[in-house]
């Protein structure tokens, strides 16, 4: 719609002043696309905006997932440090004990050497765990944007409850929330709009237009008005098959995106199934690790009692001690594996 106003003065024997106002409007009533081609542009722009929002949400969830991973990895190594420290302390006590027995002639130098080797191994394991903890802390600091040399410890948290979600529920969540599928859905919608636009070019464009004009000659004190209305039809002409080719190209794009979506759904289905198995397996392994600790503790206590009465050797006691420490460390690792399995399940569901 256009509005034009003008006022003119003509110089002469007697100045003639004339004012005029004209209003012209045009409206397309049919262009082959439901709602008009301008609405298609709006829809495509909205799809692009939503795709950008989906990408932002995906980046945010990825950053949060990395922070959680770093947090629980640090928590596990942090919890393992006291176990390693207790191991070193116990090994030091064992060494002092066997050195006393050696001085009293009740232990051999080989037995003392065996205890010394156990102590050295425990010290090396403690140093490695402390280094891993420091590295984990730096990774977590990097993930949250803190200085790498910032000292802190993470708070211990109870194990989360096992997820009771079924496979069907997990798949529904994944199909609804995974950013890959959401992005493909928006791309398919935009491609459908493009195909409809290409097909609309086959139809004529029908528009109605009108013009209203009013003029005033102030000198002669004469006014006049006019009104005109009409319909215009723009017919498509031969283009050598260009429009048909572009429409076919748009149709092929939809088919390609649909195939990508179907393939992505299959891939996500595999990810969800593996994640559910990982959670169930990790939970069972925690229970197994707990029983291993109980068994190893009982075996160690038994070996010490047998050694006290002279029916077992130092090597038997040290072997049982190493098995106990391995079981305790294994329990901490099993807890971490379980937590990370739960995080992975949330991640593959797009939560």
Render each residue's pLDDT in the chain as its tens digit; 351 residues. 555 555 555 554 556 676 777 777 777 766 677 777 788 888 888 999 999 999 999 999 999 999 989 998 999 899 889 888 988 988 898 898 889 989 988 888 988 998 899 899 999 999 999 999 999 999 999 999 999 998 888 887 776 676 678 889 999 999 999 999 999 999 999 999 888 888 887 777 777 777 877 777 667 677 777 777 777 777 677 666 777 888 888 889 999 999 999 999 999 999 999 999 999 999 999 999 999 999 999 999 998 898 888 888 887 888 888 888 889 889 988 988 998 899 899 899 988
Instruction: Report the pLDDT value the prediction gives residue 329, as an integer from 0 to 100.
Output: 87
pLDDT digits (tens, 9 = 90+) for 249-281: 888 999 999 999 999 999 999 999 999 999 999
> pTM value?
0.74
DSSP 204: P
Q: The CATH number of 22-348 is which of 1.10.3720.10, 1.10.10.10, 1.20.120.1080, 1.20.1600.10?
A: 1.20.1600.10
* Interaxial angle between packed helices 179-200 and 167-177, expressed in degrees from 0 to 180 and rounded to the nearest 10: 50
Instruction: Report the pLDDT value the prediction gives residue 200, as an integer from 0 to 100.
Output: 80
Q: What is the dihedral of CA 214, 218, 222, 224, to 10 degrees?
A: -10
Q: Are 250 and 194 in contact (CB under 8 A)?
A: yes
The rounded distance, in Å, linking the Cα atoms of 284 and 325 is 20
The rounded distance, in Å, linking the Cα atoms of 50 and 185 is 11
Q: So where are the chain's domains?
A: 22-348
């Amino acid at each position: 719609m256009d509005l034009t106003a003008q006022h003119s003065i003509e110089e002469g024997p007697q100045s003639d002043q004339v004012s005029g106002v004209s209003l012209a409007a045009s409206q397309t009533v049919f262009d082959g696309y439901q709602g008009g081609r301008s609405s298609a542009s709006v829809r495509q722009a909205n799809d692009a905006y939503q795709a950008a929002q989906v990408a932002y949400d995906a980046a945010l969830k990825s950053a949060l997932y990395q922070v959680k991973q770093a947090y629980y990895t640090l928590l596990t190594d942090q919890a393992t440090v006291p176990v390693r420290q207790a191991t070193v302390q116990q090994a030091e006590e064992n060494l002092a004990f066997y050195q006393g027995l050696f001085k009293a002639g009740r232990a051999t130098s080989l037995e003392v050497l065996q205890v010394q080797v156990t102590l050295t191994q425990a010290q090396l394991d403690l140093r490695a765990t402390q280094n891993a903890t420091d590295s984990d802390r730096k990774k977590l600091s990097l993930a949250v944007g803190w200085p790498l040399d910032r000292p802190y410890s993470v708070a211990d948290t109870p194990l989360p409850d096992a997820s009771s979600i079924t496979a069907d529920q997990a798949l529904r969540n994944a199909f609804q929330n995974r950013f890959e599928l959401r992005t493909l859905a928006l791309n398919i919608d935009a491609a459908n709009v493009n195909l409809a636009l290409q097909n609309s070019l086959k139809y004529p464009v029908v528009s109605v237009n009108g013009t209203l004009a009013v003029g005033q000659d102030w000198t002669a004190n004469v006014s006049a008005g006019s009104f005109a209305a009409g319909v215009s039809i723009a017919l498509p002409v031969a283009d050598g098959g260009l429009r048909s080719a572009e429409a076919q190209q748009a149709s092929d794009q939809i088919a390609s995106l649909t195939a990508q979506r179907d393939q992505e759904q299959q891939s996500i289905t595999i990810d969800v199934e593996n994640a559910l198995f990982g959670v169930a397996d990790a939970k069972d392994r925690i229970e197994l690790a707990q029983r291993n600790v109980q068994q190893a503790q009982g075996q160690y206590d038994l070996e010490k009692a047998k050694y006290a009465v002279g029916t077992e050797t130092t090597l038997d006691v040290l072997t049982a001690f190493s098995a106990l420490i391995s079981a305790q460390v294994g329990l901490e690792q099993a807890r971490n594996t379980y937590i990370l399995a739960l995080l992975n399940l949330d991640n593959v569901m797009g939560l």
